[in-house]
Structure formats: C-alpha cells, structure tokens
Amino acid sequence: MSTNTPVGTAARPLRIAVVGSGPAGVYAADILTKSEAVKSGELTVSIDLFDRYPAPYGLIRYGVAPDHPRIKGIVNALHKVLDRGDIRFFGNVDYGTDLSIEDLRTHYDAVIFATGAIKDADLNIPGIELEGSYGGADFVSWYDGHPDVSRDWPLDAKEIAVIGNGNVALDVARMLSKHADDLLVSEIPDNVYVGLKASPVTDVHVFGRRGPAQVKFTPLELRELSHSKDVDIILYAEDFEFDAESDRQIQSNNQTKTMVGTLTNWIAEQPEDLSELTASRRLHLHFLHSPVEVHDDAGTPGRVAGIKFERTELDGTGNARGTGEFVDYPVQAVYRAIGYFGSALPEVEFDHSKGVVPNDGGRVLDASGAHVPGIYATGWIKRGPVGLIGHTKGDALETVTYLLEDRGNLPLAAAPEPGAVVDLLESRGVQYTSWEGWLALDAHERTLGEKASAGAGADGIQRERIKVVPREDMVEISRGGVAAEV
C-alpha cells in the first residue's frame, strides 16, 4: 500500500489495537466506531481487540459471581457489540509474551490498554501469610472457572472471616455461605459445585472498618444476601453508629439511604435471642472493626486459628479511628477483599503505588510525564479499580476523545494491513481464538448445561451452561477441534 494513502480513509483506515476485552476494552472499541468522525464519514477505523484469555468479557466472565442477575445484561450488551462484525477479536494472545509494544506499533497507529486489575490489594498485617489466608480475588477466579487457576480450593473451615465492605467482599461471603445446590441454576463449573457442596462452613463473618453508612457495596449486592436459602443474616447493635457526617451521607445519597434502611430493618426484625434462628448457616455483618492480626495457636501452628480486630469509631469526617479496644474471633480461614490492584505492563510505565498506568485523561505518560504518542489507557488500569459500569463507559469516552483529537499526529504503522498481524501470530505459533471460536465455545458450554439439566432427575434443575475451564480445552473448542461434536 502506498505510504501516500491518507490515513483514516476507506483505502487506509486508522488502525487501532485494544488490549483487553472486558467492558472497558469493548466500550472503547464501540465508542470509536460510533464517534461523530466515523458516523459522518470523515474517518474510517479498523479495530482489533486482543485478550490473553481464549474467551472475551474479562472480569464480567471471571470476576463476577455466577449467581449475579446483572451478568446477563452486561454480557448481552458486550455480545451485541462484538457480534456486529466490525471489530475483530483475537483471544489467547498475551501482550508481553505473544506481542510486544514494537509489534503493536508496527501494525497499529494507536494502542489502547484496557487490561483492568485482577490481583488482590495487599493487607499488611501480621499473620496474613498463614495457611488458610486467601485473597478474595483469587477465590473469585476459582469459582468463576478462570482458565489459569487451579481447579482445587481448600474449603475445610467451619468459621470464616471476610475482610472488606465492598461488592467483592459480599460476593465472596455469599458464595461461601450459600448452599451449593442453590447455585446449580447458575453457570457454576462442576468442580466448584463439588468443592462448595463438601464445605463444612457454618459461620461467615464480614468485617468493615467503618460504619453502616460508609459501606462500599451496592443495594443490589446487599439484597442478594437475603435471598440465600437456609442462611440467617446476623447483625450487632453495637456496630450501628451514626454521626453527623453519616446523617449527611444518608440524606444526600439515595443509595446510602437504601442500604442503611435495609440494614436497620434487618436488625430490627432480628430476634433478641439468636438461638431462635434455625438456619444451618449464618452470615454475620460486622462494622467498626479494623483488622490487626491473623494468628495461629498451639493446636494449629502455621494455620489460621483466629483474627484480632481493633474496634473503631467514626471521626466525623466519614472515616474511622481506633478506640484501643480489641476483640478476637476464632476462624479457620481469612479472605481479604479490600480491592483489586493492577499489574504492570511490559514496556509501559507503571505506578506501582497505585497499580495504574500513569496517564493524563487516558493519554499514557512516560517516566518524565510526557505523553507517549499513540499509546492510551482506559478502565481500571487507567483510573484504578473503582466505580461501576457507568464509570467505565465515561472513562472510555474520555480516552477515545483524546485519541481522536490526536489522530493527525499519531506515529503511523509501518504494516497496517489487517492480514499482517494474523501472519505474525501464525508465524509465532500463537493459537489465537476468534469471535467465531467464542460462539462455538459458548454453544459447547450451553450444551453441557442442557445435558446436565436433562440428567437432573425429579428436581428439574435447569443449567444454562457449564464452563469449560481448562485453557487447552477452551482453545481447542474455539479453534474447531471438538466444536463439531457438540
């Protein structure tokens, strides 16, 4: 192709790579295709979406509990975007291993990193390294059938502590306390069902450092706790502290008002004599507790035997301070769910204290603070692991707006032909998957669910799908190896 061909035309579209196919990446690609410049015919774009996993959707597939009702709506929206056919999907392609920044620059005029955050934020207290202490994000990856996670998970604790007051903490607590049979209607992998079915758990305790008005979960997450069968929710009157700042938050935020109302109704309806509660499992919600130490004991050296907290009080600013009063809970497992943390990207500047790629509105910065031409970021790797889907859309719009503003000054790709990157991947033996491959894998998983439902017997449990969790199986099915047998 002539180097004089204007970029952004039908003859030479603006070539853009998006690394990460979760909501952040898909929204960025979608917003690009629907931008005024593209709709008016002023600009033509060609977008390739890369993901290190064989299947698309990122944390919507591997980071949200399988019994979540909102999953379907989000997945359906992402599916519609990718199913249009104007955005190519390359799965099972790992940036930094299969493709370098130089490769991407060779084949694309701009690159958007939307790699999210998949690791647990650290909790630096003594004993956190003991056996029986886990990251909540790791547990989520296990029960969501993440292809790079072991199929086994130790579920031998009767009493469990979950540290955190966000949505992930409630997901973890709900999955630990919920009866496995009640999850069969979801897309729970078989190995997860077997593990949860054998769990001896009786009590799951969720701890937050601040009060009920300062929680970070959402009303939907909170209400879902009450839907678990044979699980009693227990709250404690001494944890319900409200100061002037709490009252302001309640009056100024409908979401906060709804959650506080739900919690206060629950504790008002709770019997004074807790022995009247008859469920076989209990989910305890604690507030005003700051973790101090995870400890073992003489009977279980090296293994979690309990956790110590300092009781806290609100300080009038929305935060909490220690009171000097300590309390200990006997538990055999601890899950920290205090947030996700981003991972560094090869050959891209990284802020290790914040877990993000340094950027200015999505324009990636180098070590000196200067914008790296043609390199952008969006989603959690851009702003940190905060906010919901609405924030992700706004985030992608900001990044795309800057990219389009810069399009006259982008470093143009030397080999922008759409087939060139395919040739490169094939020459390296990369077993990449496609959108058509995902449709085959999706059909395969749904067929496994139908077969399981057909053999469910008199209970008639309808399983929508069963995830194929080993990566090699996912790749083989996606590339046509066994799709014909489905």
Instruction: In whole angstroms, give the CA distance from residue 210 to residue 249.
Output: 13
Region 287-309: what's the mean pLDDT?
Answer: 96
Query: In this predicted structure, what is the pLDDT of residue 2?
Result: 40
| Residue 124, number of CB atoms within 10 A of its CB | 5
- Give the CA count within 13 Å in the CB-facing half-sphere of 37: 18
- Give which of 272, 204, 264 is closest to 232, Cα–Cα: 204
Instruction: In whole angstroms, give the CA distance from residue 63 to residue 149.
Output: 13
- Give which of 387, 291, 377 is closest to 339, Cα–Cα: 387
Per-residue pLDDT tens over the stretch 367-405:
999 999 999 999 999 999 887 677 889 999 999 999 999
Please state the three-class secondary structure of 292-307 as a single string.
EEEECCCCCCCECCEE
Helix (H, G, I), strand (E, B) or coil at 14: strand
Helix (H, G, I), strand (E, B) or coil at 360: strand
Mean pLDDT across the chain, nearest whole number?
92
Helix (H, G, I), strand (E, B) or coil at 28: helix
Strands (E), 330-465: 333-336, 340-341, 359-360, 363-365, 371-377
Helix (H, G, I), strand (E, B) or coil at 392: helix
Query: In this predicted structure, what is the pLDDT of residue 449?
Result: 87
Query: In this predicted structure, what is the pLDDT of residue 4?
Result: 62
Tokens 């903490």 sit at which residue?
169
Instruction: In whole angstroms, give the CA distance from residue 368 to residue 351.
Output: 13
**What percentage of the chain reaches a pLDDT higher than 70?**
96
Helix (H, G, I), strand (E, B) or coil at 468: coil
Q: Residue 203 burial (CB < 10 Å; 0-12/13-18/19+)? A: buried
Q: Are 25 and 379 in contact (CB under 8 A)?
A: yes
Instruction: In whole angstroms, give the CA distance from residue 242 to residue 447.
Output: 51
Region 253-264: what's the mean pLDDT?
Answer: 96
Compute the Cα dihedral for 30, 34, 37, 40 and give only its sign.
positive
The tokens of 251 are what?
A: 């009056």
Query: In this predicted structure, what is the pLDDT of residue 247?
Result: 95
Among 27-31, 363-367, 448-452, 475-479, which stretch is predicted with the lowest mean pLDDT? 448-452
Q: Are 99 and 93 in contact (CB under 8 A)?
A: yes
Q: Residue 102 burial (CB < 10 Å; 0-12/13-18/19+)? A: exposed
Q: CA-CA distances (angstroms) from residue 292 to 125, 311, 327?
A: 6, 10, 10
DSSP 485: G
The percent of the chain in helix, strand and coil, each rounded to the nearest 5, is 35, 20, 45
DSSP annotation string for 200-259: ---EEEEE-SS-GGG--S-HHHHHHHTTSTTEEEE--GGG----HHHHHHHHH-HHHHHH
Q: Are 112 and 16 in contact (CB under 8 A)?
A: yes
Whole-prediction pTM? 0.92
**301 φ/ψ angles, rounded to the nearest 5 degrees:** -60, 130
Region 86-102: what's the mean pLDDT?
Answer: 97
Query: In this predicted structure, what is the pLDDT of residue 82?
Result: 97
Region 455-473: what's the mean pLDDT?
Answer: 75
Among 70-74, 101-105, 283-287, 305-309, which stretch is predicted with the lowest mean pLDDT? 70-74
Distance of CA 123 to the CA centre of its chain: 19
Among 235-249, 326-340, 374-388, which stretch is predicted with the lowest mean pLDDT? 374-388
Q: Residue 4 burial (CB < 10 Å; 0-12/13-18/19+)? A: exposed
Query: In this predicted structure, what is the pLDDT of residue 459?
Result: 57
Q: Are 308 and 293 in contact (CB under 8 A)?
A: yes
